[in-house]
């Protein structure tokens, strides 16, 4: 057990004194003090073990010995900036590019997902010669000023902030809660046409589109899985307007979706972005990230005459760690584990949905899964307070999960990739028990018949979306009234 300098309350007091008040912690009324972690588990100052279902930063597992060793060995030997020749930089770039389509061949190494997305915008502006950016509703792309402006997830919180006139917000391609739902004959085209309309209206005002940026799967937006074909259609409209397509893989890349190494590949081989950004899992907690683009875009960036230099981006230690992460993903078959365990987790959640009226939708790919809670399945009324109750009561049972989405009602699974079937069973078992308790307190039961046509019964089985088979279960059950509960739901 790691030695702690202060008791928990002193740590809290010092944080309040010296750390910015807008820097929040998980479970603010009773935060967890973590002193060490290994694999998919984190340990507090009492050496109590927590199952980590949310830490996609520790992609191959907390404190993975191979990653730690690679960083330590290189640090003992050399660390310097990338203006010196070093094999680690080019070797890692070569290995990273091998996971991508051939067209994406030029790398810029930086230090965070925010820095990567900011650089992606600079590339798009310079290459296209245009200014306007199209982003998705509820999107989050980073914390620097340029990215807050294209992150509705953030700027919607500022009542007095005027949106940048060069930023346009397209509909989130959410077929559960969005404008075009699972009963629409062609939601991909309908959502892509919204982007086309934005392009046309921008042109009418004399604006020109530089880029469309989107997470390949929206995370903070509520674990949104876009319909197959959406990005291809969007790319046609954006490229016709002279813009480029940026795929943000900061949260969903490096094999997390299971069937593919990159989430944008779920759309099919006929979709290749012009720019891909990555971060978080790339260094398993070490601060590094990357922008990968085409030779044409890179040369357009060079044509500005401005040299690009990043002191720490691509340093020998970061690249050694990045290569170790790729090694572990391959050697431990973590992409395969994401597919197997993620499929099993989705199956367990789908079975749980059959018992609980609070569960409106289950969606995800690999170890990127969301469970949306609703108070009414037909109306899809967000169950925000209930979602918060679930995550706080899971914390009491030492399982760490979060709730996100525009209504904070989507339970988010994005654990380390070493997450096991037993971990999935434990997490779902506890959620099942908590939902039973909450529903009893609210007097909620499932109707005897299936969900109405406005509910989620018409939604394609999640394993079949984008052409990838997973578990499906067509059985329907009704929920018998549970015992009364005295638990109060937090708001």
pLDDT of residue 457: 38
Q: How far is CA 28 from the centre of its chain?
A: 22
pLDDT of residue 483: 34
* Three-state DSSP state, 420: coil
491 falls in which pLDDT band (50, 70, 90)? very low
Average pLDDT of span 366-394? 97
Q: Which H or E element spans position 279? A: none
Q: Are strands 49-52 and 34-38 parallel, antiparallel or unpaired?
A: unpaired
Where b means 16+ CB within 10 Å and e means fewer, 132-159 reads bbbbbbbbbbbeeebbbbbbbbbbeeee
* Three-state DSSP state, 461: coil
* Three-state DSSP state, 168: strand
Residue 486 has pLDDT above 50, yes or no: no
d(C-alpha 358, C-alpha 342), whole Å: 22
What are the residue ranges of helices labelled H in 314-470?
Answer: 316-331, 334-353, 384-396, 421-442
Interval 232-279: pLDDT, tens: 999 999 999 999 999 999 999 999 999 999 999 999 999 999 999 999
Residue 343 has pLDDT above 60, yes or no: yes
96-110, 139-153, 222-236, 251-265: which range is least confident on average?
A: 139-153
φ, ψ of residue 402 in degrees (nearest 5): -125, 165
Average pLDDT of span 418-424? 98
In the chain, what are the domain boundaries?
38-60+334-467, 65-331
pLDDT of residue 448: 62
Interval 114-147: pLDDT, tens: 999 999 999 999 999 999 999 999 999 988 988 8
34 bridge partner residues:
44
Average pLDDT of span 401-420? 97
242 bridge partner residues:
none
pLDDT of residue 6: 92
pLDDT of residue 3: 60
What are the residue ranges of helices labelled H in 129-266?
Answer: 145-148, 152-155, 187-204, 230-240
Residue 453 has pLDDT above 80, yes or no: no
Q: How far is CA 31 from the centre of its chain?
A: 23
d(C-alpha 247, C-alpha 434), whole Å: 37
* Long-range CB pairs of 301-310, under 8 A, 24+ apart, other chains included: 301/122, 301/123, 301/126, 301/127, 303/126, 304/126, 308/108, 308/119, 309/83, 310/82, 310/108, 310/109, 310/110, 310/111
pLDDT of residue 157: 59
Domains 38-60+334-467 and 65-331 share a fold: no
d(C-alpha 334, C-alpha 345), whole Å: 15
**Contact 163/157 with Cβ under 8 angstroms?**
no
Residue 480 has pLDDT above 70, yes or no: no
28 falls in which pLDDT band (50, 70, 90)? confident
Contacts of 212 (CB under 8 A, 6+ apart): 133, 134, 135, 170, 195, 234, 235, 238, 243, 244, 245, 246
- Taking alpha carbons only, the member of 173, 186, 183 closest to residue 223 is 173
d(C-alpha 60, C-alpha 50), whole Å: 17
d(C-alpha 56, C-alpha 40), whole Å: 10
Residue 380 has pLDDT above 80, yes or no: yes
More reliable by pLDDT, 7 or 471: 7
pLDDT of residue 307: 86
d(C-alpha 132, C-alpha 400), whole Å: 39
Task: Please identify, in words, the CATH class of the domain defined by 65-331.
Answer: alpha beta
Count the residues in the chain. 491
**Contact 210/124 with Cβ under 8 angstroms?**
yes
pLDDT of residue 156: 63
34 falls in which pLDDT band (50, 70, 90)? very high
**Contact 239/245 with Cβ under 8 angstroms?**
yes
Where b means 16+ CB within 10 Å and e means fewer, 408-446 reads bbbbbbbbbbbbbeebbebbbebbbebbbbbbbbeebeb
Contacts of 490 (CB under 8 A, 6+ apart): 385, 388, 389, 392
Average pLDDT of span 319-347? 98
- Taking alpha carbons only, the member of 442, 371, 456, 365 closest to residue 409 is 371
What are the residue ranges of helices labelled H in 131-279?
Answer: 145-148, 152-155, 187-204, 230-240
Write down the mean pLDDT value for the chain.
Answer: 90
Residue 31 has pLDDT above 50, yes or no: yes
Contacts of 290 (CB under 8 A, 6+ apart): 96, 107, 108, 109, 110, 116, 277, 278, 279, 282
Concatenating the DSSP letter of every residue in 13-49 gives HHHHHHS-TT---SSTTS---EEEEEBTEEEETT--E
pLDDT of residue 466: 32
Please give the CATH number for the structural domain made up of 38-60+334-467: 3.90.1150.10
């Amino acid at each position: 057990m790691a030695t702690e300098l202060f008791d928990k309350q002193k740590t809290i007091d010092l944080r309040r004194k010296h750390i910015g008040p807008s820097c929040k912690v998980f479970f603010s009324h009773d935060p967890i003090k973590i002193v060490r972690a290994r694999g998919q588990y984190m340990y507090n100052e009492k050496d109590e073990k927590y199952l980590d279902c949310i830490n996609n930063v520790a992609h191959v597992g907390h404190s993975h010995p191979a990653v730690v060793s690679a960083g330590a060995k290189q640090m003992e030997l050399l660390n310097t900036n990338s203006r010196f020749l070093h094999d680690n930089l080019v070797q890692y770039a070569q290995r990273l590019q091998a996971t991508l389509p051939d067209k994406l061949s030029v790398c810029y190494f930086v230090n965070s997902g925010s820095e990567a997305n900011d650089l992606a915008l600079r590339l798009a502006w310079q290459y296209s010669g245009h200014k306007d950016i199209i982003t998705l509703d509820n999107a989050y792309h980073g914390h620097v000023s340029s990215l807050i402006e294209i992150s509705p997830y953030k700027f919607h919180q500022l009542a007095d902030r005027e949106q940048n006139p060069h930023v346009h917000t397209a509909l989130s391609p959410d077929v559960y809660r969005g404008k075009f739902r699972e009963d629409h004959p062609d939601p991909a085209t309908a959502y892509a046409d919204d982007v086309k309309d934005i392009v046309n209206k921008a042109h009418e005002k004399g604006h020109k589109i530089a880029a469309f940026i989107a997470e390949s799967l929206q995370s903070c937006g509520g674990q949104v899985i876009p319909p197959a074909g959406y990005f291809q259609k969007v790319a046609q409209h954006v490229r016709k307007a002279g813009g480029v397509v940026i795929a943000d893989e900061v949260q969903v890349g490096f094999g997390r979706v299971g069937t593919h190494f990159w989430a944008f590949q779920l759309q099919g081989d006929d979709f290749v972005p012009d720019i891909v950004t990555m971060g978080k899992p790339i260094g398993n907690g070490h601060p590094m990230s990357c922008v990968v683009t085409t030779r044409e875009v890179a040369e357009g960036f060079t044509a500005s005459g401005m040299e690009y230099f990043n002191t720490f981006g691509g340093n020998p230690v970061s690249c050694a760690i990045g290569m170790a992460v790729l090694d572990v993903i391959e050697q431990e078959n973590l992409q395969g584990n994401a597919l197997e365990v993620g499929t099993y987790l989705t199956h367990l959640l789908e079975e749980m949905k059959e018992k609980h009226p609070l569960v409106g939708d289950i969606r995800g790919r690999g170890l990127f899964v969301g469970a949306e809670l609703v108070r009414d399945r037909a109306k899809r009324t967000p169950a925000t307070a209930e979602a918060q109750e679930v995550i706080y009561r899971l914390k009491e049972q030492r399982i760490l999960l979060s709730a996100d989405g525009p209504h904070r009602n989507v339970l988010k699974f994005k654990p380390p990739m070493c997450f096991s079937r037993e971990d999935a069973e434990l997490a779902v078992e506890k959620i099942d028990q908590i939902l039973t308790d909450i529903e009893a307190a609210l007097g909620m039961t499932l109707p005897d018949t299936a969900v109405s046509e406005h509910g989620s019964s018409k939604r394609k089985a999640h394993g079949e979306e984008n052409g990838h088979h997973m578990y499906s279960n067509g059985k329907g059950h009704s929920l018998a009234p549970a015992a009364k509960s005295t638990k109060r739901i937090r708001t």
